[in-house]
């Protein structure tokens, strides 16, 4: 519960602020909590000082678009539009799982927000995701970094459980945890029990950087088995398919990347993973190369772990729009690559081919499109309530973000000019 947010929302009605904050503090800390009145007065004082401060560095550009309604983090068209603006501010071009500089590749993955009450699982899958992002680009992992925030009433055991989740993956791969940070969410202002944070991974390219820019017409697409990660774990927890969770506790996706990098790099143009938003979202990003992915839907489905697929079908969750943690490999030598993976204990098949752009980012074997959605496939009860609804059109989101982007860029350039001149 964000006490500061409540106070800012209700300001300047101080009596209502006091009433509401006391109610929330008593809910989490008990009616006899001795500091509740003093904390409320301190919050009011801080909000009074901070809410009226003016100036370009104390205000952010207002888009009047709410993150959830715009699809932020929901790995569909809305999220794609937002990330285009992030790339623009950062002076970056194109989508990559992780970028390279001086032979070093780095990535960062936040924990799945719905795994906040399951720290070990949250950490395990975030660590795997961060490592996978650098390994699909051809990196040999050098280590990981960890950042975790606990809200004020979270049991410290959550922190220890999280660290164990990270260490399980790193020790399995014999790589170190290089650094970490532990804080509270919002300091004293956020009460209740919840964790947030992420894991970063650093690696060194030994053979080849498998950039998405290398994906081109005529290449074959090989996909490895998908056993799921944080998203599938979340789906299983909140829909009661608990046995499926155990299917996700493996590192076959990372092993696949390692084999590809160490033994097949000369035969591979690019790799990526089927995660955020599923293969629909991956294809949307790759289509910037002016190509379409044409896949055989049955072959795609056959590579999803059978328990995972059965759960998705039971829940009527579209498997093409959800993270399954498979690896996509783009090659001119499909049989060679497939056979090597198979002989190493990894299920893999040729699922399709890269064609010139055909009006949609991804089509099936009959040329029927798998149209991009505003959000990823809804996989929890609350996501199914929200569905693909947004009060905003894509054009409205685009135009609203454009103005905010220009203001943010101008602020950046103003400070940069000062820094470079000092």
DSSP 297-328: HHHHHHTB-HHHHHHHHHHT--GGGS---EEE
What is the DSSP code (8-state) at residue 2? B
The residue to which tokens 């996509």 are assigned? 328
User: What does DSSP say about strands 326-331 and 220-224: parallel, antiparallel, or unpaired?
Assistant: antiparallel
Residue 22: predicted pLDDT: 98
Helix (H) or strand (E) holding 44: helix 36-51
**Number of other residues whose CB lies within 10 A of the CB of residue 156:** 9
Say whether both 101 and 199 belong to one domain. yes
Final residue of a domain: which of 210, 225, 244? 210
Say whether both 19 and 110 belong to one domain. no
Residue 367: predicted pLDDT: 96
Residue 389: predicted pLDDT: 85
Q: Report pLDDT digits (tens) over 99-132.
A: 999 999 999 999 999 999 999 999 999 999 999 9
Final residue of a domain: which of 188, 210, 232? 210
Residue 271: predicted pLDDT: 98
In a domain, 24, yes or no: yes
Pair 164, 118: CB distance under 8 Å: no
Say whether both 197 and 114 belong to one domain. yes
In a domain, 317, yes or no: no
User: What is the layout of strands, in order, in the sheet containing 348-356?
Assistant: 268-274, 326-331, 220-224, 348-356, 291-295, 362-364
Say whether both 47 and 103 belong to one domain. no
Q: Report pLDDT digits (tens) over 230-267.
A: 999 999 999 999 999 999 999 999 999 999 999 999 99
Residue 315: predicted pLDDT: 98
Q: Is 278's pLDDT higher than 90? A: yes
Pair 202, 143: CB distance under 8 Å: yes
For residue 364, give the 3-state DSSP assignment. strand
Residue 32: predicted pLDDT: 97
pLDDT-derived band of residue 30, with 50, 70 and 90 as boundaries? Answer: very high
Residue 223: predicted pLDDT: 99
Say whether both 107 and 200 belong to one domain. yes
Tell me the DSSP string of 140-209. Answer: EEEEEEEEEEE-TT--THHHHHHHHHHHHHHHHHT--EEEEEEEETTGGGB-SS-EEEEEEEEEEESS--
Alpha-carbon span 269 to 282, nearest angstrom: 16
Q: Is 388's pLDDT higher than 90? A: no
For residue 287, give the 3-state DSSP assignment. helix
* Span 57-62, average pLDDT: 94
pLDDT-derived band of residue 372, with 50, 70 and 90 as boundaries? Answer: confident
Pair 293, 221: CB distance under 8 Å: yes
The average confidence (pLDDT) of the chain is 96
**Number of other residues whose CB lies within 10 A of the CB of residue 2:** 16
**Counted domains in the chain:** 2
High-pLDDT (> 90) share of the chain, % = 95
High-pLDDT (> 70) share of the chain, % = 100
The CA-CA-CA angle for residues 222, 198, 133, to 5°, reads 20
Residue 422: predicted pLDDT: 77
In a domain, 121, yes or no: yes
CATH number of the domain to which 135 belongs: 3.30.1330.10
Q: Is 168's pLDDT higher than 90? A: yes
pLDDT-derived band of residue 75, with 50, 70 and 90 as boundaries? Answer: confident
* Span 265-283, average pLDDT: 96
Q: What is the domain range of residue 202?
A: 97-210
Strands (E), 24-112: 99-101, 104-110
In a domain, 31, yes or no: yes
In a domain, 38, yes or no: yes
Pair 195, 333: CB distance under 8 Å: no
In a domain, 370, yes or no: no
In a domain, 134, yes or no: yes
The CA-CA-CA angle for residues 78, 240, 250, to 5°, reads 75
Residue 220: partners with Cβ closer than 8 Å, 6 or more residues away: 330, 331, 332, 334, 350, 352, 353, 354
Alpha-carbon span 421 to 67, nearest angstrom: 36
Q: Is 229's pLDDT higher than 80? A: yes
Final residue of a domain: which of 210, 245, 274? 210
* Span 134-144, average pLDDT: 98
* Span 307-324, average pLDDT: 98
Q: Report pLDDT digits (tens) over 326-349.
A: 999 999 999 999 999 999 999 999
Where is pLDDT greater, at 221 or 93? 221
pLDDT-derived band of residue 401, with 50, 70 and 90 as boundaries? Answer: very high
Residue 276: predicted pLDDT: 87
406 vs 70, 74, 84, 92, CA distance in Å?
Answer: 19, 24, 13, 15
Pair 347, 300: CB distance under 8 Å: no
Say whether both 110 and 15 belong to one domain. no
**Beta-carbon-side half-sphere exposure of residue 368 (alpha carbons within 13 Å):** 4
Q: Is 409's pLDDT higher than 90? A: yes
């Amino acid at each position: 519960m964000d006490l500061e947010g409540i106070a800012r929302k209700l300001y300047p009605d101080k009596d209502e602020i006091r009433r509401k904050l006391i109610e929330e503090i008593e809910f989490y800390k008990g009616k006899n909590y001795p500091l509740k009145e003093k904390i409320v007065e301190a919050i009011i004082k801080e909000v009074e000082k901070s809410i009226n401060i003016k100036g370009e560095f104390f205000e952010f550009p207002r888009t009047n678009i709410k993150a959830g309604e715009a699809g932020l983090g929901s790995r569909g068209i809305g999220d794609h539009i937002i990330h285009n603006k992030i790339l623009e501010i950062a002076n970056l071009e194109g989508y990559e799982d992780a970028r390279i500089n001086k032979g070093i590749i780095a990535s960062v993955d936040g924990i799945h927000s719905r795994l906040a009450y399951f720290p070990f699982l949250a950490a395990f899958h975030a660590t795997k995701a961060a490592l996978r992002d650098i390994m699909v680009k051809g990196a040999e992992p050098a280590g990981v970094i960890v950042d975790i925030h606990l809200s004020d009433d979270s049991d410290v055991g959550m922190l220890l459980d999280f660290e164990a989740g990270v260490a399980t993956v790193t020790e399995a791969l014999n790589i170190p945890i290089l650094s970490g940070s532990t804080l509270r969410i919002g300091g004293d202002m956020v009460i209740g029990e919840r964790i947030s944070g992420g894991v970063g991974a650093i690696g060194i390219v030994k053979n080849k950087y498998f950039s998405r820019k290398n994906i081109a017409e005529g290449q074959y697409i090989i996909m490895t088995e998908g056993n799921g990660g944080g998203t599938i774990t979340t789906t299983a927890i909140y829909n009661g398919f608990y046995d499926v969770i155990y299917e996700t506790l493996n590192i076959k996706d990372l092993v696949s990347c390692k084999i590809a990098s160490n033994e097949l790099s000369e035969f591979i143009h690019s790799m990526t993973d089927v995660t955020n938003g599923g293969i629909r979202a991956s294809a949307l990003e790759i289509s910037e190369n002016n190509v379409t992915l044409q896949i055989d839907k049955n072959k795609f489905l056959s590579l999803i772990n059978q328990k995972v697929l059965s759960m998705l079908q039971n829940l009527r969750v579209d498997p093409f729009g959800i993270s399954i943690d498979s690896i996509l490999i783009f090659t001119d030598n499909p049989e060679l690559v497939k056979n090597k993976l198979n002989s190493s204990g990894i299920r893999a098949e040729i699922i399709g081919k890269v064609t010139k752009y055909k009006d949609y980012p991804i089509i099936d074997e009959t040329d029927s499109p798998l149209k991009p959605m505003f959000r990823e496939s809804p996989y929890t009860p609350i996501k199914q309530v929200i569905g693909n609804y947004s009060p905003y059109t894509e054009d409205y989101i685009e135009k609203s973000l454009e103005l905010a982007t220009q203001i943010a860029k101008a602020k950046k350039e103003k400070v940069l000019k000062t820094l470079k001149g000092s």
